[in-house]
Amino acid sequence: MTNSTTPISTPTHTGSCHCGRIAFEVQGEIDSALACNCSICSRKGSLLWFVPRSSLRLKTPEDDAATYTFNKHHIRHRFCPVCGMHPYGEATDPKGNAVAAINLRCVDGIDLAAIPVQQFDGKSV
């Protein structure tokens, strides 16, 4: 008798800004979200899911996304200059790893109510 195992595949999610000018695929299991109360996140109302930057693949040209930085200029907030949506951000974590913060409100076909949300006090950082 042979023992075969079926590899477990990592889910791939699609998403975009409102007008579709910025579209992406991201691989990973969405197991939690972060709601930050800093000055920009509280205004955007985004729910963030952090993944290695290598898990995010843009389906549209990177130059189609505009970039906004503020405060310490560590996070590149990426947004669509046409519709104004903010599908993701990019930064480096404390260990030097490139990460992406995916706005789960821009991901297709997920049940946001089923995802546990952790509150983060970015206002005090």
DSSP-assigned letters across all residues of 32-47? -EEEE-SHHHHHHT--
Cα 121 from Cα 109, distance rounded (Å): 28
The single residue listed with the structure tokens 């599908």 is 87
75-102 b/e with 16+ CB inside 10 Å = b? Answer: bebbbbeeeebbbbbbbeeeeeeebbbb
> In the chain, what are the domain boundaries?
12-124
pLDDT of residue 61: 96
Residue-level pLDDT at 1? 45
Mean pLDDT of 11-35: 97
Contact 25, 110 (CB under 8 A): no
Q: What is the pTM of this model?
A: 0.89
Question: Whole-angstrom Cα distance, residue 116 to residue 30?
Answer: 10
Is residue 45 scored above 50 in pLDDT? yes
Structure tokens at 93: 């974590």
Per-residue confidence at 125, pLDDT binned at 50, 70, 90?
confident
3-class SS of residue 22:
coil
| Third-level CATH fold of 12-124 | 2.170.150
